[in-house]
């Protein structure tokens, strides 16, 4: 299925070959990447738990995003809010509006399911552009502070690794809640 298309960008359902391309490209740019995460997203999609999208830039896979029907961990787990999960744009394709178009598509999918969408964002500087983008798009922290490995950090906790598992949870109202 195609979710968006213009002369440069196409957003479509993720295909198995995309995971291999993303893994190779992410490793080349110094990320800790494995194809298994893409295979898991595709398995979850086949089981009806999420929508997995790929953005192509001029015919080349350039970015990805997943919209899960509901969170599997974190402060929003008891809510029926869709969760944006595992979003990325390859470095060589950044600053072309691809991330914004992926987020637009993900938020449109989420809006078809609920009034609010949630996500988590890593706290190290590798997530700096995502952190800024989420705030500009209207996402606000939930107030539960930092989480590590699916559990909230308590005041004065010692976190030994500032890795991808140290996150902040955020949400955004997509439309005014029904009263």
- What's the pTM? 0.92
pLDDT of residue 105: 98
Domain ranges in the chain?
A: 2-173
Q: What is the CA angle 96-9-127, rounded to 5? A: 45
pLDDT-based confidence at residue 108 (cuts at 50, 70, 90): very high
- Estimate the share of the chain in helix, then strand, then coil, as percent rounded to the nearest 5: 30, 35, 35
Asked if 130 and 87 count as a contact pair (C-beta separation under 8 A), the reply is yes
What are 129-161's pLDDT values in tens digits?
Answer: 999 999 999 999 999 999 998 899 999 888 778
Fold of 2-173: Aminopeptidase (3.40.630)
The two tokens of residue 162 are 């500032």
> Which string of DSSP letters, residue by residue, matches 5-73?
E-SSEEEEE--HHHHHHHHHHHHHTT----HHHHHHHHHHHHTTSEEEEEEEETTEEEEEEEEESS-SS
| Cβ-based neighbours of 174, under 8 Å, separated by 6 or more | 107, 110, 111, 114, 115, 116, 117
pLDDT of residue 132: 95
Across the strands, what pairs with 21? none
What are 61-73's pLDDT values in tens digits?
Answer: 999 999 999 998 9
Quote the strand ranges of 90-157, DSSP E: 116-122, 140-148, 151-152
Output the average pLDDT for the chain.
Answer: 94
* Mean local confidence (pLDDT), 88-100: 95
pLDDT of residue 161: 84
* Mean local confidence (pLDDT), 30-50: 94
pLDDT of residue 88: 94
């Amino acid at each position: 299925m195609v979710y968006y298309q213009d002369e440069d960008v196409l957003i479509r359902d993720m295909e198995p070959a995309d995971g291999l391309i993303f893994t190779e490209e992410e490793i080349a740019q110094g990320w800790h990447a494995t194809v298994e995460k893409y295979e898991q997203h595709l398995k979850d999609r086949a089981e009806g738990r999420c929508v997995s999208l790929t953005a192509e830039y001029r015919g080349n896979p350039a970015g990805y995003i997943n919209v899960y029907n509901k969170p599997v961990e974190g402060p929003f787990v008891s809510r029926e809010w869709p969760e944006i999960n595992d979003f990325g744009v390859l470095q060589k394709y950044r600053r072309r509006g691809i991330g914004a178009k992926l987020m637009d598509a993900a938020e449109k999918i989420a809006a078809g399911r609920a009034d609010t969408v949630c996500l988590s964002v890593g706290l190290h500087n590798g997530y700096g552009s995502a952190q800024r983008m989420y705030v500009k798009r209207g996402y606000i922290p939930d107030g539960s502070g930092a989480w590590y490995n699916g559990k909230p950090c308590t005041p004065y906790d010692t976190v030994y690794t500032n890795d991808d598992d140290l996150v902040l949870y955020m949400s955004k109202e997509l439309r005014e809640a029904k009263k």
